[in-house]
Amino acid sequence: MSDPDSEAGGEWKELQAEADAEGKRLDQWLAAETAPDLSRSRVQALIRAGAVLHGGKPITEPKRKVSAGERFTIELPEPEAPEPEGEAIPLDILYEDDALIVINKPAGLVVHPGPGNWSGTLVNALIHHCGTSLSGIGGVRRPGIVHRLDRETSGVMVVAKTDRAHRALAQAFADHGRDGMLERAYVALVWGAPQRASGIVDAPLGRSTHDRTLRAVVSSSRPDARAAVTHYTVLARYGPGTPEERIASLIECRLATGRTHQIRVHMAHIGHPLVGDPAYGRAFRTKANRLPSDLAEQARAFPRQALHAKLLAFRHPETGETLRFEAPIPHDLAELIEGFNRL
């Protein structure tokens, strides 16, 4: 699954190996310790997914031998959720045919059910709208979903309605548009301004060691490191002075990969986190002190990361035609940008 989005894991449990665990395989010992909740095959899958830690670092080899006294932490999966039901949630539909549907997702709408959001999601809305036509490849909790946007990110999304469309679109997103037939562009309002008018952030991402629901730039040698590349272009700089003295800027970001929180982490990594970002921009909130009082109040009150998926282009999985969709910047973000335009 691709595109920026967070997905909280389950409960973390710490286990210590006693003397009788000496020399046992890690998957064998963990399966015994967590029985009957987890089977050995499930434990093996969790290990390979990086959900078992030793000394704070993931272990990905199920055959690893256990030594007495060692402590391991395992992320227990969430209990199986009930199958989502259709809900009459309005959809802003940009395009629809028998194979797929393209929507303009509003900020605040969760894409698929998960902990704390078992209803009221885009999936619930799609089930109500599409009925039984949705593709089942994504599983009962994610029918038709081939990519995601964060809850508070607005913009263009495509959803598959048939298995054939799902396979083709999922492959296109997995390939990150290497064939040139997938194009994704976002606009972001960020603190400060890059000196260069355009650039590339090439920095691998992995789970944050401080909060596993978040991502961080990590060493490429880490087992969970995933390549992540963002191309950015400065559209406007706000405030007086040289580029490095500007208060904020409007950036267009184009994705060469689609990792969880990619744009948010990459822009923070180069010193320009998104305005309103509660996870990666908290340390920059004092930047608002440099703004006129009315704009400062508006920026502090902005309830989400200032990020919008404005463009999505892809090849239709049935006809081969290139489809291109743009979603206008939503009213709340447009008002905030207009405030910075007046600086």
Residues marked as catalytic: 150
Within 13 Å, how many C-alpha atoms sit on residue 104's CB side?
14
Which pair of tokens denotes residue 310? 């404005």
Which pair of tokens denotes residue 328? 């206008």
Q: Are 239 and 343 in contact (CB under 8 A)?
A: yes
What b/e sequence results for 324-339 when a residue is b if at least 16 CB atoms lie within 10 Å of its CB, and e otherwise? ebebebeebbeebbeb
Instruction: Label the pairing between strands 229-238 and 215-217.
Output: unpaired
Task: Give the burial class of 24: count Cβ atoms within 10 A of its Cβ; 0-12 exposed, 13-18 middle, 19 or more buried.
Answer: middle
Binning the chain into helix, strand and coil, the percentages to the nearest 5 are: 25, 30, 50
Q: Are 325 and 312 in contact (CB under 8 A)?
A: yes
Q: Are 233 and 249 in contact (CB under 8 A)?
A: no
Which pair of tokens denotes residue 107? 């900020």
Taken in order 126, 127, 128, 132, is the CA torsion positive or negative?
A: positive
Question: DSSP string covering 214-233, please?
Answer: SEEE--TTSTT-B--EEEEE
Question: DSSP string covering 136-195, please?
Answer: STT-TTSTTB-B---TT-EEEEEEESSHHHHHHHHHHHHTTTTTS--EEEEEEEEES--S
